[in-house]
Structure 1
Amino acid sequence: MADIHFDYKLALAAIEAGADKIRLNPGNIGARENVEAVVRSCKEHHVPIRIGINSGSLEKDIHEKYGKPTAQGMIESAKRHVKILEDLDFHDIVLSFKSSDPILCLEVYRQAANEFDYPLHLGVTEAGTVMTSAVKSTLALGPLLLEGIGNTIRISVNGDASLELPIVKELLKDCGLKDDVPNLIACPTCGRTAWDMKPVVDEMESWLQTIHKPITVAIMGCAVNGPGEAKHADIAIAGGRKEGLLIRKGQIVEKLDQSEIVDRLKKEIENY
């Protein structure tokens, strides 16, 4: 998707270059003929336009009317941009409403779902680091997904964009909307933990990103409560001093040397 601001010629160039979608607010690219040129090109190439409303860049009169970014103001702004496209008989529209405030995002998307029949792209903007983004995005987007609101989604992370997809997949899985993502369970450790399990959990979490099947994997810190706590997992390891128990569907099937745990876990998962 090409993100276009102010210069309609960039939109035309992006469409010609093969962009699948453009993000553009038609009220921000100047004269009506500029908008008409973009609409003609989008129709010709079957390219949808995503109207992106951001709480930090609302029109001056809307900001003055409401005094601060509000859901009502964001909806009002969207209606203006939508009308411009609809007046040109263009209806291949996607809408997004973004803020760094997760509660505002939750509120505005709920209103948008009632106000518009167009697809909604969900997201929290300027969400921050991996940790803060995951928290804010889950707070805002989780309830929306559970309510059936939203058609596409992005979880924005400052820095490495490759970190975004695992969070999205995890959120969709936990909302029951994606069934080809492994579920990794790991205990928080306690006084009974007798092995360094964190490197194993980290390696398995990364490796499981390559697996596309609905399997629950548990990595537990001890052989006392571990087998019972992991009984609902498909494959589990309950670690101990220099060894670990391999568990399938709640049944202990083998005792492993600690050095074997990672390779054996991967093999069990691949063969599941």
Structure 2
Amino acid sequence: MKTRKIKIGNRVIGGGAPVLIQSMCNTKTDDIEGTIRQTLELERAGCDIIRVAVPDMSAAEALKEIKKNIHIPLVADIHFDYRLALASIENGADKIRINPGNIGSYDRIKAVVEAARQKDIPIRVGVNSGSLEKEILEKYNGVTAQGIVESALDKVAVIEKLGYENLVVSIKSSDVMMCVKAHELMAKSCDYPLHIGITESGTLQRGTVKSSVGLGIILYQGIGDTIRVSLTGDPVEEVKCAKLILKSLGLRKDGIEVVSCPTCGRTSIDLISLADKVEMIVSDFDLNIKVAVMGCVVNGPGEAREADIGIAGGKGEGLLIKKGKVIKKLPENELLEALKQELKRMQAEASCNNAG
């Protein structure tokens, strides 16, 4: 569903632009070196937009130095104190995230909007299921998708009345299907870019599953302009998961996709270890290909026919496969090196083609 185009720093969202990946630093923002270091690590992992918490004035002031040393848009996350929003804008934030409902009086909201207008930066209006107003909860007899959307639209209307429409909207819930329903309703109610995510989704395993299901359903309907996978853990894992979600839906083509079989009684090789090692090897290559790791030399070539290249392990030996055809039989201990050398050759070919 096409939304209006919004510029965030050196990136564009909405208007049919590719879905961008966002993450959030878990460092203390006034730990400038630590925040820069983590942001650069997230950039390398594929993060497109980074958000940092601004709980106090020292964090707001740190934004200036952080921004000088990173390469992706910097978003300031503010709650309650409108002065932190003003300071964040002054110190170079490319976007601010606020909930107008907890910023304070109309005059304070107006001050933030005017500061954003002067710098021409977007305001992300964020509403979570846990922050709904008492009136909304009473109207809908608890937390509902309809209530989340109504609360968000009310806050958007406050900023629109101030004549500012450089907005991004975010509505989140930890309930997967409630979140899906809310986004379906919101997509029909406004054309602002939507930042989507399943909030407080949990630890690496649980959060990955919940986010993959929820975001997959939402994105499949053409809803969403930026995404964040919220995990309790290393933010790099958020980016990895987000990339896989987008690639699985065909919304992002960059990078190598590794597919592997689940193993069965025919498997006579340590396929789990082999697949993990392949994942590590391919991380060093900048190729848009699919790599298969199969545990059976009998069915492996056929099962890997949709992959650009793959390996299939057997008892003491294995196969190097291209597009489902065996190109080489090797001792088991030479499989990984053969794959690596073939990837290097493909990388060199790709570089020559790009140069030409």
Letter in 1 for 2:107: E
CA distance in structure 1 between the partners assigned to 2:344 and 2:141 by the alignment:
56
After TM superposition, give the deviation of residue 212 of structure 1 in Å: 3.7
After TM superposition, give the deviation of residue 269 of structure 1 in Å: 2.3
Q: Which moved more, 1:138-147 or 1:106-115?
A: 138-147
After TM superposition, give the deviation of residue 161 of structure 1 in Å: 0.8
Letter in 2 for 1:260: E
After TM superposition, give the deviation of residue 210 of structure 1 in Å: 4.3
Number of residue pairs matched by the alignment? 272
- Shift in alpha-carbon separation, 1:68–1:212, aligned structure 2, 3 A: farther
After TM superposition, give the deviation of residue 265 of structure 1 in Å: 1.3
User: Does structure 2 retain, via aligned residues, the 8 Å contact 1:170–1:181?
Assistant: no
User: Does structure 2 retain, via aligned residues, the 8 Å contact 1:166–1:209?
Assistant: no
Letter in 2 for 1:184: V
2:312 alignment partner, SS class: strand
* Aligned position for 1:23: 97
* Aligned position for 1:83: 157
* Aligned position for 2:88: 14
2:329 alignment partner, SS class: strand
After TM superposition, give the deviation of residue 78 of structure 1 in Å: 1.0
* Aligned position for 1:144: 218
After TM superposition, give the deviation of residue 257 of structure 1 in Å: 2.2
After TM superposition, give the deviation of residue 259 of structure 1 in Å: 2.1
* Aligned position for 1:235: 309
CA distance in structure 2 between the partners assigned to 1:183 and 1:16 by the alignment:
41
Q: Deviations over 1:27-49 (max 9, x none)?
A: 22112221121111111112111
* Aligned position for 1:105: 179
Q: 1:67 aligns with which of 133, 141, 150?
A: 141
Q: Deviations over 1:102-140 (max 9, x none)?
A: 000100000000001111001000100122112111221
Q: Answer yes or no: is 1:47 the counterpart of 2:121.
A: yes
Residue identity over aligned pairs, in percent, reads 50
Letter in 2 for 1:256: L
Letter in 1 for 2:198: V
* Aligned position for 2:109: 35
CA distance in structure 2 between the partners assigned to 1:95 and 1:210 by the alignment:
36
CA distance in structure 1 between the partners assigned to 2:137 and 2:332 by the alignment:
61
Letter in 1 for 2:304: A
1:190 alignment partner, SS class: coil
Unaligned runs of 5+ in 2: 1-74, 347-356
CA distance in structure 1 between the partners assigned to 2:179 and 2:345 by the alignment:
42
After TM superposition, give the deviation of residue 268 of structure 1 in Å: 1.6
* Aligned position for 2:261: 187
1:108 alignment partner, SS class: helix
Q: Deviations over 1:214-246 (max 9, x none)?
A: 211111112111122112221111111222111
After TM superposition, give the deviation of residue 166 of structure 1 in Å: 1.1
Letter in 2 for 1:177: L
CA distance in structure 1 between the partners assigned to 2:97 and 2:281 by the alignment:
34
User: Does structure 2 retain, via aligned residues, the 8 Å contact 1:52–1:95?
Assistant: yes
CA distance in structure 1 between the partners assigned to 2:118 and 2:283 by the alignment:
38
- Shift in alpha-carbon separation, 1:116–1:18, aligned structure 2, 3 A: same
Question: What is the root-mean-square deviation of aligned Cα atoms in Å?
Answer: 1.4
With normalisation by structure 1, the TM-score equals: 0.95
